[in-house]
Amino acid sequence: MPQVFVPKEVVEGETRIACTPETAKRYVKEGFEVVVESDAGRHAHFTDEHYRNAGAKIVAGAEAEAAWGSADIVLRVYPITPEEASKIREGAILIGFMSPHKNLESVRILRDRKVSTMAMELVPRISRAQTMDALSSQASISGYQAVLMAATYLDKYFPLLMTAAGTIQPAKIVIMGAGVAGLQAIATARRLGAVVEVSDIRPAVKEQVESLGGRFIDFPLDESGEGEGGYARELTPEQLKAQQKIVRQKVVAADAVITTALVPGRPAPKLITADMVADMREGAVIVDLAVEQGGNCELSKSGEMVLEHGVTIIGHPNLPAATPADASLLYSRNIQALLLSTLSEGEVVLNLEDEILDGVLLTHNGEVRHGPTAEAL
């Protein structure tokens, strides 16, 4: 009977959990032994009793420490630390976000301990893997929370209001990037009554933007900005400069800007320069969802709220954690779909010929299988 261990998240501010009572119950039904560290689900409001009722075993203290070395499978949300990586038994399976380019020491330890690491950010973008796509499930929550945060700190209403004292014009919102986070941000901002303009270098997303009530900002690019897997590709310096020129007019006139632009494996493109911020009106707000990859705004700082030229710039590094119950629900289902896809006659079988496993395995059998990470090491 394979043992699944769900430890507490150790990073401050991480409120999500990789296994909810719902998924724990399914694992038990499939023949797994589920071990959960006491209070692991507390921040997402899942109690130890909830897990016991689902058939899981609760451990604490020395028992929890021992579980690292006895578990066949460890489930995580936030990238594992080097100290934790050293506790996992050799040949075990680790599933969770890894951010390998920023956690090379952990990757090195996992490689040397022959741990099979399934990095959730490496799930291929194919139709068969949609139920496993944790980047999308968490990005949707980020887009939603970004708009709520902008509405909270903006100095005016989002909707058009007609009152006895006169008419209040709707807020003008610019959203940069129409991926999953951007599309959810558009939908949320429109529900709140704002006028929304959207920039993206991929012409293919124009129809999606307009279907949600946003106005698409066209860019005169010589070729499509779409890259591998539907993500945006990195622009040339000339193309980026042309994009900034068009975006500048929109940003300066905006009440709030939400940036979501990311290029896989690269630093986030700088779309909002310091001089753009200087020309924005005092009281405006920028929410930078790309801050952990360097930020789309030159002035944003991870984990900080910066005030420059009267503009509030929010660099929250983990917005999904602000909605821990639903974020955990979706993330744990992503992991469940991935893990159960490996089952064969009650055993976990890592078939490297499977396109999903071939893409998601960061380390396996003492090797780093992800090219960019192997090169960085």
Residue 251, helix vs strand vs coil: helix
Is 288 one of the catalytic residues?
no
CA distance 276 to 352: 48
Give the strands of the sheet with 3-6, arranged side by side.
57-59, 33-37, 3-6, 73-75, 93-96, 116-119, 361-364, 367-368
Q: Of 76, 133, 145, 328, which is the active-site residue?
A: 133
Q: Which of 327, 326, 298, 316 is nearest to 147 (CA)?
A: 316
Does 144 participate in catalysis according to the annotation?
no
Nearest-angstrom CA–CA distance, 195 and 183: 14
Alpha helices in 154-298 (DSSP H): 180-191, 206-211, 237-253, 274-279
Catalytic residue among 108, 190, 231, 358: 231
Length of the chain: 377
* 191 belongs to the catalytic site: no
Q: How far is CA 312 from CA 81, 170, 223, 300, in A?
A: 32, 19, 35, 10
208 as an active site residue: the answer is: no
- 130 tagged catalytic: yes
Catalytic residue among 70, 128, 130, 275: 130
Q: What are phi and psi of 166, to 5 degrees?
A: 120, 180
Identify the active-site residue in 42, 52, 89, 125. Answer: 125
User: Which amino acid, one-letter code, is at 4?
Assistant: V
In the chain, which ranges are continuous DSSP H helix? Answer: 21-29, 48-53, 62-70, 82-85, 104-112, 134-153, 180-191, 206-211, 237-253, 274-279, 324-340, 355-360, 371-376
Element (H, E) at 95: strand 93-96
Helix (H) or strand (E) holding 125, with range, is none
Of these residues, 38, 86, 136, 341, which one is catalytic? 136
Cα angle, residue 18 at apex, residues 322 and 45 outer, rounded to 5°: 50
Give the active site residues. Answer: 125, 130, 133, 136, 231
